[in-house]
Structure 1
């Protein structure tokens, strides 16, 4: 299985993590549900590897659409289809840099408390940190626009973005009419987030 497809791919088994005997962690995962990310992070974990490889090989962005050809069938994914598939919020901030600075400061202080120097974030880590700050502090984010833009970067030829989104793209491809996807496999369980993956967290 192509490992590049799983870089930056996150899948959460919400049924498992929300039943943990760890109130702090349950609250954290409930915040993901509250922000509207459950459909994106917890969608069915099925992989169509050969179709994914062909999707990325032929993928590009045209007029705001992610387009590709898989098994001779044209695939077009719009921002609206992306939102409907994963039930993502479509209102709120689009630029993470607009998150109120006092909330960012509070989040940085929290991270530093757990041993990560507050000034050590590179550009990529900074983006992920701001996402975490938005979720933790309940900032209203247009997650659909934000995640769809990342998706477009992933399929843009020559992009330095890791492929990823394997589970999400597989689900999108399953909904394309007349597209034969061939064999499928489940997302590797050792890469998914279950209750046993986070039991180290302090209660």
Structure 2
């Protein structure tokens, strides 16, 4: 299972993307055995995640989660609170064409930078199974909040997602691999065993962003906007 966590991981190297000088990258490691034990044993008790890793019990609270990653603790906690007028404006701002998109739409209908942001949310934040060609209403609201600079209580939102991941009855996909390893590594007197480095292609940098832009910015430019260009290409191959 841990190997699939690595395969599905996407690490965002914001220093590199934002062009800060003297940046040497953001190396990240995965402790496979520890991750497997964490997800196998984790449960939520009184808003704290309890798990047994390497023979020791480990507790992760929201305060600890927030403190380790320096997450904001003030702002929106529910995306339905995003002002409707901003959502309305975003439908045109995000659109590749002059026509407003729906808040649940196909990714190819949006400008490629927002398509990339959708992918980041889909893989690294909301961590939900399903087609990444689709933009969900939830992710659209998140993108709207970020675009307009609204304050978001990332501490609560991300910790709630982590709690869903470890809830056995939840359909939430397993994720946050690197972040969980950081949390486990901060636990006292806990040895996590052998580490594996996250593959470079899974780390979002200036180079990988440039590659994404080059591959996606012209998709659909010569196609009928009423149909997904990728689907049309697949149809042509079958013909």
Q: Tell me if both proteins adopt one fold, taking TM over 0.5 as the criterion.
A: yes
Q: 1: distance between equivalents of 2:178 and 2:17?
A: 19
Identify the structure with bigger relative contact order (alpha carbons < 8 Å, sequence gap 6+): 1
Which residue matches 1:19? 19
Please state how far the C-alpha of 1:49 moved relative to its aligned partner.
1.1
2:88 to 105, 112, 116: 105
Question: Which consecutive unaligned segments of at least 5 residues does structure 1 have?
Answer: 21-41
Give the TM-score of the pair, scaled to structure 1: 0.80
Equivalent residue pairs, number: 181
Question: Which consecutive unaligned segments of at least 5 residues does structure 2 have?
Answer: 107-125, 129-135, 218-239
**Contact kept? 1:2, 1:49, Cα under 8 Å:** yes
Which residue matches 1:166? 177
Q: 1: distance between equivalents of 2:71 and 2:6?
A: 21
Counterparts in 2 of 1:7 and 1:188: CA distance versus 1, 3 Å? closer
Please state how far the C-alpha of 1:158 moved relative to its aligned partner.
2.5
Q: 1: distance between equivalents of 2:105 and 2:143?
A: 13
Please state how far the C-alpha of 1:116 moved relative to its aligned partner.
9.1
Q: 2: distance between equivalents of 1:128 and 1:13?
A: 20
1:197 to 189, 208, 216: 208
Aligned-CA RMSD value: 2.6
2:164 to 132, 153, 162: 153
Partner SS state of residue 77, structure 1: strand
Q: 1: distance between equivalents of 2:208 and 2:69?
A: 24
Higher mean C-alpha deviation, range 185-194 or range 4-13 = 4-13
Runs of 4+ in structure 1 deviating by more than 6 angstroms, as ranges, are none
1:67 to 40, 43, 50: 50
**Contact kept? 2:165, 2:172, Cα under 8 Å:** yes
Give the TM-score of the pair, scaled to structure 2: 0.68
Higher mean C-alpha deviation, range 123-132 or range 60-69 = 123-132
Q: 1: distance between equivalents of 2:7 and 2:45?
A: 25
Counterparts in 2 of 1:6 and 1:159: CA distance versus 1, 3 Å? farther
Q: Deviations over 1:65-113 (max 9, x none)?
A: 0110001110100000011000000011111110111111222222332
Q: 2: distance between equivalents of 1:126 and 1:190?
A: 28
